Amino acid sequence: METTNESDAEALWDDVVATLEAEELPAATVAMLRSCNATALDESSLHISTSSRFVQRTLARMASRIDEVASEVAFSQISVVVDVTRAARKPTREREAAVPAPQPAPPQVKRPAPRDEPASRKANPLVEDLGTAGSTLTFDRFVEGPQNKFALDAAKQVANGSRNYNPLFIYGKSGLGKTHLLRAIQNYIAQNDPERLCAYRVATDFIDDYSRAMKNARTGAPEALAENYHAIDVLIIDDIQLMSTAAGTIGFFYDTFNYLVSHGKQIVLAADRTPSELGMGQSRFDERVTSRLDSGMTVSIQVPDYELKLQLIDAFYERMRTDAREQHVPGIDAHIDEDLRRKMAELAGTNIRVIEGYVQSCLMLAYQREATGGHLEEADVVAAAEQKWPSGQRRVTVAQIQEAVESSYGIDHTQLVGSKRNKELMEPRHVAIWLTRELTDNTLADIGKQFGGRTHATVKHSIGVIELAIAEDRILQDRIARIRDQILE
């Protein structure tokens, strides 16, 4: 039976892929199709080749649809045959070590590893050679309090290999310690169980990985990237909300998520909002994705109260002084009275990273005072706090509150102040009215005018609804706290 030349096979395969792509398949699937090369075409078969058995298995599940499209395009009955051209593959661990990286790993400062690392760890560009980098972000250095205890306990369980929290989803506003917990999991695994491959990626890194692979689709980069991610035992993605507008990346993440979970691998995620909130507004996170994110253990980290702030300040104070002595860092090893540290806790805001910077500033001031024979005074810590959290913040307006609520709930201004009373609009409207009452001096009548001309009684009702809800609904309480902090900070 005579076969046509390779260019005819390529032309037919290009048409098949273009037709399938128009059906809005996941971007990762389209990349797999494009990574295949057409090799031969005869009267009944189109042969394509791939070097990946994973791609072959994926396309086998789509065989009926691919054959159907090929027949439509060729105007005759055609079956697509997927041939694997790579030589016999090595055992699993060796195969993972041999997977080529789609791009060279980012330049890193090479430090001696505390122990010999597995070959698969060295070969997979997604797994960092931690060495001593980031070693301060450990469970030992995480300050525990009621606001973060559940998240800390869950993170420790995951680090120790528990499968009870998969995925583990940690959410909370910026600066509360989510990244510390994620890095602590990574550090613990690297030090205590290095055979488990653990990769930490910020969502922007994940987007970059996917984008670079797609630009090199003809070289097999998407396939290599997928195999590198599939080789991971514990995948950690931070700030996943940054992925919300990257539709192609979300498709690749969805496929990766399903593969890892179905193969008993662990996923840990962090965001500034709950999984359901990730799907609001213009986000490309659809319900099938957000439901996956919320299918395991979802836990929040809340803003610290006075007691936790004091614990944090004491911990940072002792740690900085110890580090200064051990590392011979000048200008920090000074003394701050316990009463002054209590005052610092009263003045401190809620962002833990800023609190740490505040302690460092006060230690430097104390060192300067001691160098001239004096000592740190209350006026000094008040002045330092004023620089970190200015008390003369701009006056909060109703418009600022409305804008923050609209952004959080993914609705527009007309919906917020309009007359529609469906559930999706009533909650944000009640929240905005309640926050306006809390953060401004407007009367109930003035607030009503700002929300579509509502009556005094209607505004009072909204306030009562939220006051009752936040006493019972922890998720709503967290959400309102994040909106409030966004407005004030």
**What does the pLDDT look like over 333-372, one tens digit per residue?**
899 999 999 999 999 988 898 999 999 999 999 999 999 9
Which of 273, 300, 327 terminates a domain? The answer is 300
What's the pLDDT band for 315 if we cut at 50, 70, 90?
A: very high
State the amino acid at position 6 in one-letter form: E
In a domain, 89, yes or no: no
Looking at the structure of the chain, the number of domains it has is 4
Pair of tokens at residue 297: 């253990």
CA 362/CA 355 separation, integer angstroms: 11
CA 271/CA 169 separation, integer angstroms: 8
* Average pLDDT score over residue span 102-109: 39
Residues forming a β-bridge with 202: 238
Residues forming a β-bridge with 198: 234
In a domain, 470, yes or no: yes
Determine the Cα angle at 247 with ends 64 and 302, to 5°: 125
**What does the pLDDT look like over 369-420, one tens digit per residue?**
999 999 999 999 999 998 888 765 457 889 999 999 998 888 899 999 998 8
Nearest to 398 by CA among 431, 436, 428: 436
**What does the pLDDT look like over 256-283, one tens digit per residue?**
999 999 999 999 999 988 998 888 777 8
| 275 and 190 together in one domain | yes
Residue 134 has pLDDT above 70, yes or no: no
Contacts of 58 (CB under 8 A, 6+ apart): 29, 32
| 35 and 77 together in one domain | yes
Residue 224 has pLDDT above 80, yes or no: yes
Beta strands, E only, 94-242:
168-171, 198-202, 234-238
Mean pLDDT in the chain? Answer: 84
Nearest to 317 by CA among 375, 356, 366, 370: 356
In a domain, 34, yes or no: yes
User: Which pLDDT value is given to residue 129?
Assistant: 64
* Average pLDDT score over residue span 215-241: 92
Q: Estimate the share of the chain in helix, then strand, then coil, as percent rounded to the nearest 5.
A: 55, 10, 35
Residue 38 has pLDDT above 50, yes or no: yes
| 337 and 248 together in one domain | no
In a domain, 98, yes or no: no
CA 142/CA 319 separation, integer angstroms: 12
Q: Which domain holds residue 28?
A: 6-84
CA 417/CA 398 separation, integer angstroms: 12
| 228 and 262 together in one domain | yes
In a domain, 411, yes or no: yes
From the centroid of its chain, how far is CA 128?
Answer: 18
Percent of the chain clearing pLDDT 70 (strictly above): 87
Strand 79-84 and strand 234-238: pairing?
A: unpaired
| 347 and 364 together in one domain | yes
State how far the alpha carbon of 205 is from the alpha carbons of 146, 236, 278, in Å: 32, 11, 19
Judge contact between 413 and 391, C-beta under 8 A.
no
Which of 388, 413, 433 terminates a domain? The answer is 388
User: Which pLDDT value is given to residue 449?
Assistant: 92
User: Which pLDDT value is given to residue 59?
Assistant: 83
| 340 and 432 together in one domain | no
Judge contact between 85 and 49, C-beta under 8 A.
yes
In angstroms, how far apart are the furthest CA atoms of the chain?
Answer: 99
Q: pTM to 2 decimals? A: 0.64
User: Which pLDDT value is given to residue 329?
Assistant: 81
What's the pLDDT band for 52 if we cut at 50, 70, 90?
A: confident
In a domain, 106, yes or no: no
Specify the residue for token string 């009955």.
77
Judge contact between 285 and 250, C-beta under 8 A.
yes
* Average pLDDT score over residue span 131-141: 72
CA 142/CA 353 separation, integer angstroms: 12
CA 257/CA 250 separation, integer angstroms: 10
| 375 and 434 together in one domain | no
Strand 234-238 and strand 266-271: pairing?
A: parallel
| 442 and 478 together in one domain | yes
Which of 362, 388, 414 terminates a domain? The answer is 388
CA 388/CA 143 separation, integer angstroms: 21
**What does the pLDDT look like over 67-79, one tens digit per residue?**
888 888 888 888 8
| 197 and 294 together in one domain | yes
| 134 and 283 together in one domain | yes
CA 138/CA 315 separation, integer angstroms: 14
How many C-alpha atoms does 441 have within 13 Å on its Cβ side?
Answer: 1
At 80, which helix (H) or strand (E)? strand 79-84
* Average pLDDT score over residue span 451-464: 90
* Average pLDDT score over residue span 158-162: 93
CA 194/CA 192 separation, integer angstroms: 6
In a domain, 75, yes or no: yes
* Residue 58 belongs to domain with CATH number: 3.30.300.180
User: Which pLDDT value is given to residue 28?
Assistant: 67
Pair of tokens at residue 37: 């090369």
CB atoms within 10 A of CB 328: 8
Pair of tokens at residue 105: 């790993």
* Residue 435 belongs to domain with CATH number: 1.10.1750.10
- Is 254 in a helix, a strand, or coil? helix
- Is 39 in a helix, a strand, or coil? strand
In a domain, 111, yes or no: no
| 152 and 286 together in one domain | yes
Range from 4-18, 160-174, 242-256 carrying the lowest mean pLDDT: 4-18
| 136 and 13 together in one domain | no
* Residue 282 belongs to domain with CATH number: 3.40.50.300
Residue 198 has pLDDT above 90, yes or no: yes
